[in-house]
């Protein structure tokens, strides 16, 4: 297994598939999952001749279950450590949900300043801010995230069944066909990680204001968001992000859920490929 050790001693697991001289795509996963959540995209792109890289966020998947550093600054720095270890330049960074927040902070703080990023993609991503405030009335009230923390602390295993069975993939919608394998895979990925990282991560993805990150990004950035996203509100996140980016393009998908990269992988892969090749 491949690991990079960060400056504060955390071991970050990563995958690196495909030709070393090919265009690199770096995938950033959502909460509370792992790099495995990008399987459908990584297999698709490696078969197209690209180099595909993904890592498990600290406290998630196969990375160290450390107590500290579960915030966007550390997430972005850890991603930068992987990029530096692999010597990637001109990479395209693609993030889902919390991973989209990680991409925004990485590109703004590390990628563009170091000249290592060519493009970015935010898929169902949390920026600029999920929490409802006076300045962000379209966000979700703090009680929603307090409920997440309470459910996780009370019975993480059950909570990690309830989320994918219900709103994450839209399986709670009338007529939706729940996919048992998808639900179990979400649960498997979640339970691989640490409860402390997952608990702290709720604050990271909900309360981090990334307005300035988005404004700082100048590389072409594609924003993809499902119009039936029950986890990250499209108006306060996807649509608003596209207006804050200097070089952003928004594409929305009627009826698609938060986890559309899994439930509608063919659609997402085609749009990602078109953007990568543009």
Write out the catalytic residue numbers: 97, 229, 258
Q: Which residues contact 46 (CB under 8 A, 6 or more apart)?
A: 17, 18, 52
Q: Which residues contact 208 (CB under 8 A, 6 or more apart)?
A: 71, 72, 101, 126, 129
For the chain, the straight-line distance linking the first and the last C-alpha, in angstroms and rounded, comes to: 34
DSSP letter, residue 90:
S
93, 116 Cβ separation under 8 angstroms: no
Distance CA 240, CA 248 (A): 11
Distance CA 124, CA 72 (A): 17
Identify which of 190, 216, 254 has the alpha carbon closest to the alpha carbon of residue 128.
216
CA atoms within 13 A on the CB side of 58: 30
Burial classification of residue 91, based on how many CB atoms lie within 10 Å of its CB (0-12 exposed, 13-18 middle, 19 or more buried): buried
């Amino acid at each position: 297994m491949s690991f990079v050790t960060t400056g504060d001693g955390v071991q970050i697991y990563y995958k690196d598939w495909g030709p070393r001289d090919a265009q690199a795509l770096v995938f950033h996963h959502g909460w509370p999952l792992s790099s495995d959540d990008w399987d459908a995209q990584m297999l698709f792109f490696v078969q197209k001749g690209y180099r595909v890289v993904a890592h498990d966020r600290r406290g998630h998947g196969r990375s160290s279950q450390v107590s500290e550093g579960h915030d966007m600054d550390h997430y972005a720095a850890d991603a930068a450590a992987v990029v530096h270890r692999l010597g990637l330049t001109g990479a395209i960074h693609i993030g889902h949900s919390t991973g989209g927040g990680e991409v925004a902070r990485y590109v703004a703080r590390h990628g563009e300043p170091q000249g290592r990023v060519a493009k970015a993609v935010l898929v169902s991503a949390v920026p600029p801010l999920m929490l409802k405030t006076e300045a962000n009335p379209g966000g979700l009230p703090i009680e929603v995230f307090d409920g997440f923390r309470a459910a996780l602390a009370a019975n993480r295993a059950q909570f990690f069944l309830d989320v994918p069975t219900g709103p994450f993939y839209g399986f709670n919608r009338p007529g939706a066909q729940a996919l048992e394998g998808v639900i179990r895979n979400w649960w498997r990925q979640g339970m691989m990680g640490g409860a402390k990282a997952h608990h702290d991560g709720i604050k990271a993805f909900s309360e981090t204001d990334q307005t300035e990150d988005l404004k700082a990004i100048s590389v072409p950035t594609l924003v993809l968001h499902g119009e039936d996203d029950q986890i990250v509100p499209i108006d306060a996140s996807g649509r608003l992000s596209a207006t804050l980016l200097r070089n952003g393009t928004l594409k929305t998908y009627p009826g698609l859920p938060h986890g559309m990269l899994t439930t509608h992988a063919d659609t997402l892969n085609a749009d990602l490929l078109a953007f990568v090749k543009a």
